[in-house]
Chains A and B, each alone.
Chain A
Amino acid sequence: MSSTLTFPDVFVNASDALNRDSINTTSPWLLAFRERQLQQLKQCSLPTRKTEDWRYSFRHLKMSDAIAKPLPILSLESSTASSLDDSLVDLGGDLVVFVNGHFAESKSRLPSDASYTIKRFSELSEEEALQVSEGSSSDTSSFPFAAINGACLADGIYISIPKNTKLEKPIQLHFHAEGEGTTTPRVFLIAEQGAEATLVEEFTGATQTELLTASVTDIQLNAQSELRYIRLNTEAEQLSHIGLTQVNQNRDSRFKSFCMGLGGPVRRHDLKIKLLEPGAECSLDGVCITLGQQHYDNHTEIEHISAHCQSDESYRCIAGGNSHIVFNGRIMIHRDAQKTLGAMSNKNLLLTSNAEIDSKPELEIYADDVKCAHGTTIGQLDEEELYYLVTRGISPDHAATILTLGFVNELVQKIPNESIKERTEARLENLIKSAFQED
């Protein structure tokens, strides 16, 4: 595997090829959308050591030109089907499955009634298409992968929840990827006034060669709406995932996110929240664990643009083996955002001396009547707690596992879905166990 990537040329070529192949089957707005993103992509360059937003993760971006092509179309009857079935846990609600960037109808279950809209980008009406094109502005200068997503976008999912609709069951989106190339999952969700829903995004997959997932999720929350957002990364080795989630919140809307990073060699997730109108609230929780040579980079940015907004953020990370975890949280309070409350907490556990944790909690504040705080710790398990458990006849490895699990459990318990909670807990326990066995 060569490690050079001719950027952005190879992706520009991939986008051109995509346009050639699908010019007759793609709706005009999507072609125009791709074209706009392509123009942005042409201006991009890959992050380097000097790119502040990528100073800790640039070195993990090891890709070759082979990655710049769409993934092969997989037959759902072949061997992949079993690996997909293994990873797919049905939550009982509406389910949309994408395999290698293509909608897998036989695996999906779309809503039987018309309580809300969920469709593929290829089926959008003009009005809906306009919402997507207008609501998907990405700053690609510091995040070129969003431009890759846009320029190579084959299909996406559009969700619209009408006024005052409260969805009991979660909307489950499952993205599965295999083979060599790039996949570009894209989600656009708009919650109208007073709507309430839970969105689950799960990314799974495996590859023997090189695979890049460049995902983008755009969320628009109108007045008084509420969205619980659960994001699960459970991909296997070799697969790189670089994702962006952007949320725009209007008056009195609430956004709660739960981002679980449970595997994969290179993970990066940028979560950008804009609190546009008074009374908007967000709470961001995240848990991640890395082992072996893995890398996980959490970037969050909360922009308080309007007064009387509130944000609360808590991330817990565990690094074992030779792995590397980054947390970069940024709270920015604009001049007019008076009476803001902002809190950020990042706690990290470093299990081995070959692992590395870098934390960068930033505050940028231009308004005076605010209360803002952040706290960060990097440390290890408490010797006394370990000793206590060991004196009770628990083996040291097991004791360490219990305590480590306890360290993140507080956040895991907050996941608003029983099935995911249990699954996450079980997976975390396995990963933590293997971390202590590695030593």
Chain B
Amino acid sequence: MKKPNLRTRSMRFRQTLLSRYLLIVIFAFLFIPIVFPLASIGYVIIQENSKQADDNFLKYGSSRELTAMWHGEAALLQETEAAEVDRRLQELKRKYKEASLFWVDSSGATKLQLPPQSLLPERWSPADAVRFMKDSIDSDPFTIVSFLGAEHKGRAFMVMQMPRSIIQLDRPVGAGTPFYIAALIGMISLFFLISLLFFRRIRKRLIGLQAAMALQGENGLPQPIAISRNDEIGQLETAFNRMVGQLKESAERERAEAELRKQLIASLSHDLRTPLTVMNSQLYTLQKEPLSEKAQAAVKQVEHKISGLDSLIENLLSYTLMASGRYPIKLERLDLLRIVRESVASWYPLWEQEGISADIDLPEEAMLLTLDKAGFRRVLDNLFQNVTRHAKNGSYIGIRMGTYDGRAALVIRDRGNGLAAHSASKGAGLGLAIVEYLLHEMKLGWHMASSDEGMAVYIFEL
């Protein structure tokens, strides 16, 4: 496996999530001092542009253009050519139909009025002029006063009054504020959207990684995943893939080891049992010969020892498997009493032969527990074997349902010499260790009670 570099130098700063996160934070900090002025400037520009656009729609242009036009006209006219002034005003009246036009000569007499206005004084006193000017400021109609002559040096003046509705659109001050607010909200939303997308992407990838970890391939291990980007999560994915690889390797190693151990035990079992089988068969042949009583007893004892050795080998090999956690346990809901009955059925003939009377009292109802069938059979075999071997003198085995510490318990009772008899044989210790292991695996508790009357074994649900 290629040795991975933990701190990959190829991961550049701008590829990191950190850099992107910092970008967003910076954006958030700059939001108030930059975005607000930007929005305001934008607003003003837009406002101006829209005003000009509005002006193009006005019939006679804006007030400024109209004023310029009027001053221009006045500059071309002279008080001395009164007829010319009248003619020009009439022309202008035709052009600007809504406007009221008049002019006043240097003596203050009102000359041509188009149309005639009753409110105008016949002769203008300085006070009249001032009042007119005062009334005209910021009022409707919009009033333009211009002195005649090239430099506007003359004392005569001409006036144009135009209704404001013609030269100005009806636009209240601050009409653009909603747009301004909308723009700001838009900017804020954009900011939120970017942060949200950023976070969502991270979240999605993390969830993907979590799913990959939970998913199990055919070998019970997670599968390696495709690396999406070369950032922090990408590094995490790389590390994850590396871990999956190591897990796979160690699982394979473990499997090989387990296989080797199983092989070893199998051949050990074979090599130990083959001579036992031969001894057994020779003994059988011997038994059929005419033998003295003493020889018969010796044969019987050797036979007994062979069977003891056999079960010792069996227990030893099983215990080796158990100690290394390789003993197969398959838990399922089973009727404990059914297994007990089947086991007793196979032991019964031997008990009859050995003169052990079996007192069996098991209820009809099923007692469903989570058990490993073969394992529980093994527990019973070991316990029954102990009774058969070490408590034979009691000539009794009782198998019934009872209680232990207030819990329903299977009770196996004998009338042997109690624990002393059981522990006299060292082999029993291994058999009981197997009982202990298997019951523990099945989450069952057990208790041995020894007394002068014999031994009682309780098996109960924890």
Genuine A/B complex: no
